[in-house]
Amino acid sequence: MQVFELYFNAGLQSDLIFESFCYEPENIYERRVGSLFMVGALKNALPKNHYFLNKLSKVIKEKYYSPTAKSPEKSFKESLRRANQYLEDYTKSGDVSWLGHLSFSVLSLKNSGLNFTKVGDLKIFLLREGKVVDIDKKIKLEDIEPYPLKIFLNIVTGKLAENDIILIFTKEIFAFFQEENILSEIAEMVPFEEKKFREILNRKKDVLSKVSGICLLIYLTREILKGKKEAIVSKAQAKEFSLKEIFSPLLTFFEKIKLPEIRLPSIQIKPPTITPPKFHPLQTISLKIEGFKAKTKAVIKNKNTILVVSFILLLIIGFVVFQKEREEKLKEYQNQLNIIKQQLVEAESFLIVKSPHSSREAELIFKEEWEEISRLSQIAYTLPQSLREEIFSLKEQTEKELYQLNNLVEIEEPELFFEFSAREFVPHRIILERENFYFINPFAQVLFKLNENKEPQLLQINQKLDEAVMFEDSILFFSKAGTLFVLRNGALEEIFSLKKPYSDFNFDSFSIFKSNLYFLDKKIAQIVKYPYLGNLIWDLPTIWLEPETKKTILAQSIVVDGSIWVLSEKSIARYYDSKFQETLNLDFFPYPKNFSKIFTSTSLPYLYLLEPAEARVVILNKTGNLIHQFKSGKFDNLLDFAVSEDGKTIYLLNGLKVYQVQF
């Protein structure tokens, strides 16, 4: 894809501001929604409006590339909704100087999919195979109403193909290109050549010097867009849904049915007459009334017939509408699956080359298509069986490819190292000291020891413990009350009480390095250090992070090996000498949900991560490259883990069982 941002004589009109904004995805999450382009112009601009276009574009970009972004279409709609809210708030603050003077277009591009909208007098054209298509005519323009303010109303979607060119102009530049026949010259240039394009503009430079505005040209090349060329369809101008067209056969059918004619009986009031004594008028009147009731029952019966027929008609109409919508949806889902299959074939072709670059490209495609399949799988159980099976089959196929590319090993039957009896002890934490294992339950006043022969022993300690670390030739235990204990000769001894650095400090995750203690206060992402003075005495606490240092939000766990590694739900931050150094983004597959613990040591080259939500343990090197992943359906209650001295064996505490994994 080639992008040209052409500015023409920006200072020619002092009250005209125009600018273009082009954003390419910077990471795997942003690549889900693709590229974003904007062009804006503001006429009769005041000095205070100088940064207006920039701020508006920033609002749209931040929402479009937000972490919750799922698909280009959804992100595009959400970003425009956010832009409308921003403009409404801007106007309510009292500044209406931009109303009626703003022209702005937003365009997103992902693979061959296009979404765009605009407001004002910008012009948008598609050049394809020598033809010039005015695609912004597909946007229905409506008057801007100040309250509630809705500027961006309609979205046009479509499919692009190789060698397509998108052009976005301000009004004056479009008029120039049209008068000088430049649009036709560019359209006939297949494929597009930058050199020839510049030659065309150079021939017109004298005339160009008299106009002011902007042109954004986007040329779609083979490596970005592949597939069938399709006409762009506007959602706003799509064929209208016609009840008459759908139900005309039904209406014809019911016209043939003759419903019973209903006539209400007439009541005549006659003047009283003198009758013979033997005639009883009361009886005559009574008979007339009974006759009226009988006729009324017939009327009611006829009305009930109409109601029943009407109800049946409504049911039929509803069924026909439902069936038509369902058929259209099924066709849409099948088309999505066909596109996914094509993309998967393309990804597999990258794997044939067997190079780091091609593997990375394949992985990106597999990830994107997995996301699409996952969205379909959420509604798969509402679809026909054949379509449902196809969706789940594609998902399984894609996951297998991603597992292989992300060094993930699925273990059906992990090796069981030890199993507890719930009546005896329920472990929560594990620590390995050479060949001995110790297990902690923060609610029990006993310590469970397992020696190298797997012989269990319960140690009565009369204390509730929360965490433990290796300390010199022994183990240092800690309770969240701030008390340290050391295990000596099978007995636990209280040795030191830590003072809080501030009143609401939380003793959360902690680690040890050169006998100095480091605590993470998760609530405020602060790290506190207790310097070691010797003889099992620690100095007063100090705030380790410098005030201006970037902190890790949603921090979960820390470990120290010279650097301090702070694990959050989906990333790792490294600090050194009280300063932030870098962030390791965890963008491998399966996507991180919530990592709970990190471990390393000075003697190990790896970082070990535990993620119960994905039933796995992950191994990275210390530059963030993925080494191994181990996942199992048996890892359904991961609580903690420990690593052997050589780093090759991982012991996973899963409920009442301890599994071991070797690599």
**One fold for both 2-234 and 415-662?**
no
- Cα–Cα distance measured from residue 60 to residue 76, given in angstroms and rounded to the nearest whole number: 9
Q: What's the pLDDT score for residue 458?
A: 92
The amino acid present at 126, given as its one-letter code, is L
Would you say 33 and 238 are in contact if contact means Cβ atoms under 8 Å apart? no
Q: What's the pLDDT score for residue 169?
A: 92
State the distance between the two ends of the chain, measured CA to CA, in whole angstroms. 43
Report the pLDDT averaged over residues 185-201.
87
The pLDDT confidence band at residue 586, using thresholds 50, 70 and 90, is very high
Q: What confidence tens digit (pLDDT) does each residue in 648-660 have?
A: 999 999 999 999 9
Burial of 600 (0-12, 13-18, 19+ CB in 10 A): buried
The amino acid present at 400, given as its one-letter code, is K
The pLDDT confidence band at residue 58, using thresholds 50, 70 and 90, is very high
Would you say 216 and 174 are in contact if contact means Cβ atoms under 8 Å apart? no
| Residue 564 confidence (pLDDT) above 50 | yes
| Residue 198 confidence (pLDDT) above 70 | yes
- Cα–Cα distance measured from residue 194 to residue 290, given in angstroms and rounded to the nearest whole number: 96
- Cα–Cα distance measured from residue 487 to residue 437, given in angstroms and rounded to the nearest whole number: 13
Would you say 405 and 359 are in contact if contact means Cβ atoms under 8 Å apart? yes
Largest CA distance in the chain: 135
DSSP 361-423: HHHHHHHHHHHHHHHHHTTGGGS-HHHHHHHHHHHHHHHHHHHHHTTEEE-SSPEEEEE--TT
SS3 annotation, 111-165: CCEEEEEEECCCEEEEEECCEEEEHHHHCCCCCCCCCCCCCCCCCEEEECCCCCE
Range from 68-82, 295-309, 415-429 carrying the lowest mean pLDDT:
295-309
Of 490, 487, 462, 488, the residue nearest 476 (C-alpha): 487
H helix count then E strand count, the chain: 10, 38
Q: What's the pLDDT score for residue 244?
A: 44
- Cα–Cα distance measured from residue 224 to residue 370, given in angstroms and rounded to the nearest whole number: 19
Q: What confidence tens digit (pLDDT) does each residue in 418-449 have?
A: 999 988 899 999 999 888 999 999 888 899 99
| Residue 83 confidence (pLDDT) above 50 | yes
Q: How far is CA 559 from the centre of its chain?
A: 30
Q: What confidence tens digit (pLDDT) does each residue in 128-156 have?
A: 888 888 887 665 443 333 333 456 667 88
Domain spanning 2-234: which CATH class is it, in words?
alpha beta
The pLDDT confidence band at residue 158, using thresholds 50, 70 and 90, is confident
pTM: 0.55
| Residue 296 confidence (pLDDT) above 80 | no
Comparison of pLDDT for 653 and 88, the residue scoring more = 653
DSSP state letter for 640: E
The pLDDT confidence band at residue 299, using thresholds 50, 70 and 90, is low
Burial of 570 (0-12, 13-18, 19+ CB in 10 A): middle
| Residue 6 confidence (pLDDT) above 80 | yes
Q: What confidence tens digit (pLDDT) does each residue in 604-617 have?
A: 999 999 999 899 99
Domain ranges of the chain: 2-234, 243-256+295-405, 415-662
Q: Crossing angle for the helix pair 385-405 and 356-377, nearest 10 degrees?
A: 150
Of 74, 1, 91, the residue nearest 37 (C-alpha): 1
| Residue 241 confidence (pLDDT) above 60 | no
The pLDDT confidence band at residue 271, using thresholds 50, 70 and 90, is very low
Percent of the chain at pLDDT > 90 equals: 38
Average pLDDT in the chain: 82
| Residue 302 confidence (pLDDT) above 70 | no
Burial of 660 (0-12, 13-18, 19+ CB in 10 A): middle
Q: Which CATH superfamily is domain 415-662 in?
A: TolB, C-terminal domain (2.120.10.30)
Range from 243-252, 430-439, 584-593 carrying the lowest mean pLDDT:
243-252
Comparison of pLDDT for 509 and 250, the residue scoring more = 509
Report the pLDDT averaged over residues 344-369.
84
Percent of the chain at pLDDT > 70 equals: 84
| Residue 626 confidence (pLDDT) above 70 | yes
542: CB partners within 8 A, 6+ apart: 501, 528, 529, 531
Q: What's the pLDDT score for residue 247?
A: 43
Burial of 577 (0-12, 13-18, 19+ CB in 10 A): exposed
DSSP state letter for 467: E
- What are residue 538's DSSP bridge partners? 532
- Cα–Cα distance measured from residue 533 to residue 539, given in angstroms and rounded to the nearest whole number: 6
- Cα–Cα distance measured from residue 23 to residue 107, given in angstroms and rounded to the nearest whole number: 11
Q: What confidence tens digit (pLDDT) does each residue in 40-56 have?
A: 999 888 777 888 998 99
Would you say 499 and 481 are in contact if contact means Cβ atoms under 8 Å apart? no
Q: What confidence tens digit (pLDDT) does each residue in 524-550 have?
A: 889 999 999 999 999 999 999 998 888
The pLDDT confidence band at residue 69, using thresholds 50, 70 and 90, is low
Q: What confidence tens digit (pLDDT) does each residue in 469-521 have?
A: 988 878 999 988 889 999 877 788 888 999 999 988 888 889 999 999 999 99
